[in-house]
Structure 1
């Protein structure tokens, strides 16, 4: 009997010791994290769109006559002013043609003057006088045409802007009407973006838009100038355009811009720190939610809305009053024990 009592004490002692060691083991394996209780707050109805920059006016230029390019005055990226010479063709053929037309016009004028005197004296028929008049008119028109062709061997900028593209080099032989240069007026630029049809009712002509350009690390204020009338057949999105004043000429066509528009009304919602949201390999977003009773963190899928002041709006998957992990979540796995640090 005495032996059985001693054995029972040893078993009880061993069990207590084992539980104590397990508690310490759990505490030692818990991951330290920072947490935050989620609260409902006013969420501005902000629509964020991605867009691209283009010049307010963009023109393609080419020579009206064929020929060999003799000279190009500007390089890609250069600023040009209205009526500045861009390039010219080798003009010899057109100069000779113009001189020949001058000779023909002078000969036709002399012939008409001589026949006109005869006509006035009654020594020339009406028909011959008319033929001489038509010959003179034809010579004058040919002279104007050759003069225009010679003038068209020089290409001038039709507006002040920047040379975006040059598709020719000196020495090349080009055909009439071939687009060789692209110039854009960038004193004002246009941001083109696409907005889902469900958000279209938030946009009006003349509405202000906050525009961020990452390449310049700057923000600008623009104005909506155009709202598309027809949705894209695939995306069901509409085109909108916003105009920005480019006073310092820093904004260039092709840059990426972020457009933010204020909706018609604010609403209550949940905002969490952006760093608390984790994305898996399938680009699914999730947050670790804390079970305060068991001191464990569980992974939960969430649906994201807009980014507002470095916080992400949670559309679904999270409720006010719940506690989430805001730091240390990269070390967690689903259901792991945690310890909260201040």
Structure 2
């Protein structure tokens, strides 16, 4: 074969070979994940004010002895639970018990003398004046003995309520005066959430209104309560009013000083978006979001939202969604911001 002809044949064969090889390739496009969507519902919900604060003790009492003396025993420590009537501390009652023994012995002597003179008086052998003197002495002896009995009894300090020891004001061996605070007890069966309400909202708050209190330290657990107090004067710097919400705490899980988030139900209604609960996802930091359909109808965007509670089986979204928005309610766990999707079902 002519050398030039051979070269031409090679050059022609190579492109044909490449074309033939290219024809065997197949390009596969990824299939968009199927999702279920629903349009956001807009409903009228009771108006609520969202505020924050801390838990406070419902009742705190400072207890002290009614008599003075040196503290002999003080067995309880801060944080310990106590029951009503439980002993909190005792005084050294040695001197008082000695005085009581003397007074009771004297009382016994006077009672015996009173009995003897009573028989004489009944027979007319004793004047009314003389009998009156022994009766006065008997009354005085009885009073003295009763006073000392009370003083001895008051050397034992007992709790006046069920609660927790919040403070020990003194220690064992301290000499205390009557009425000096020795122990502080807080009741824990009823707790108050003290929240700060802005001056722009305080006019809508009233005693008895229902409130929902969330405790972040308890994993967002919710507790129901009512407004029990409204401070009449605003704080100078923050221009907020202290409002207290009463919460029953029979299990004792609520502790004073814990951060609280509250929603106070006030008069009136507000229009809010609602979505099914499964539409709400959370970031690793715990921030809620949804996947909202983009305007092209084929892709989604991740939308941060603010959740405001439940309305029946629906979740109220106070921020982040508007009327007409369409959110993914099924299949969203496989998505990311900007994912292309295939809508297989649209729930009405």
**From 257, 261, 285, the counterpart of 2:260:** 257
- Moved >4 Å (runs of 4+): 41-45, 310-314
Structure 1 residues 276-308: Cα deviation after superposition (integer angstroms, max 9, x where no partner): xxxxxxxxxxxxxxxxxxxxxxxxxxxxxxx93
Contact kept in structure 2, 1:73 and 1:87, CA below 8 Å: yes
**From 260, 266, 270, the counterpart of 2:270:** 266
Secondary structure at 2:269 match in 1? coil
Structure 1 residues 317-342: Cα deviation after superposition (integer angstroms, max 9, x where no partner): xxx9xxxxxxxxxxxxxxxxxxxx88
Secondary structure at 2:201 match in 1? helix
**From 283, 307, 310, the counterpart of 1:309:** 307
Q: Distance in 2 between matches of 1:91 and 1:172?
A: 14
**Which residue of structure 2 lines up, in the alignment, with residue 241 of structure 1?**
244
| 1:136 Cα offset (Å) | 0.5
Write out aligned runs for 1:1-342 (5 A).
45-228=47-230, 230-232=232-234, 234=236, 237-263=240-266, 264-267=268-271, 308-309=306-307
- Cα 1:148/1:75, change in 2 over 3 Å: same
- Cα 1:266/1:130, change in 2 over 3 Å: same
Q: Distance in 1 between matches of 2:261 and 2:246?
A: 13
| 1:167 Cα offset (Å) | 1.3
Secondary structure at 1:215 match in 2? helix
Q: Distance in 2 between matches of 1:56 and 1:116?
A: 58
Contact kept in structure 1, 2:231 and 2:243, CA below 8 Å: no
Contact kept in structure 2, 1:221 and 1:244, CA below 8 Å: yes
Q: Distance in 2 between matches of 1:105 and 1:130?
A: 16
Contact kept in structure 2, 1:224 and 1:240, CA below 8 Å: no
| 1:170 Cα offset (Å) | 1.3
Secondary structure at 1:123 match in 2? coil
Task: Report the TM-score when normalising by structure 2.
Answer: 0.62
Q: Distance in 2 between matches of 1:208 and 1:268?
A: 19
Q: Distance in 2 between matches of 1:168 and 1:185?
A: 21
Contact kept in structure 1, 2:228 and 2:246, CA below 8 Å: no
Contact kept in structure 2, 1:220 and 1:244, CA below 8 Å: no
Contact kept in structure 2, 1:205 and 1:225, CA below 8 Å: yes
Q: Distance in 1 between matches of 2:222 and 2:247?
A: 7
Q: Distance in 1 between matches of 2:77 and 2:218?
A: 23
Secondary structure at 2:97 match in 1? helix
Give unpaired runs (5+ residues) of structure 2: 1-41, 274-282, 284-304, 309-316, 324-337, 340-348
| 1:144 Cα offset (Å) | 0.8
Q: Distance in 2 between matches of 1:247 and 1:228?
A: 24
Secondary structure at 2:218 match in 1? coil
- Cα 1:233/1:160, change in 2 over 3 Å: closer
Task: Report the TM-score when normalising by structure 1.
Answer: 0.63
Structure 1 residues 112-171: Cα deviation after superposition (integer angstroms, max 9, x where no partner): 223222322323222221121111111101111100111111111111111111112111
Q: Distance in 1 between matches of 2:206 and 2:245?
A: 11
| 1:239 Cα offset (Å) | 3.5
Q: Distance in 1 between matches of 2:49 and 2:149?
A: 57
- Cα 1:268/1:82, change in 2 over 3 Å: closer
Q: Distance in 2 between matches of 1:128 and 1:232?
A: 71
Q: Distance in 1 between matches of 2:191 and 2:63?
A: 20
Length, aligned pairs only: 247
- Cα 1:233/1:169, change in 2 over 3 Å: closer
Contact kept in structure 1, 2:103 and 2:141, CA below 8 Å: yes
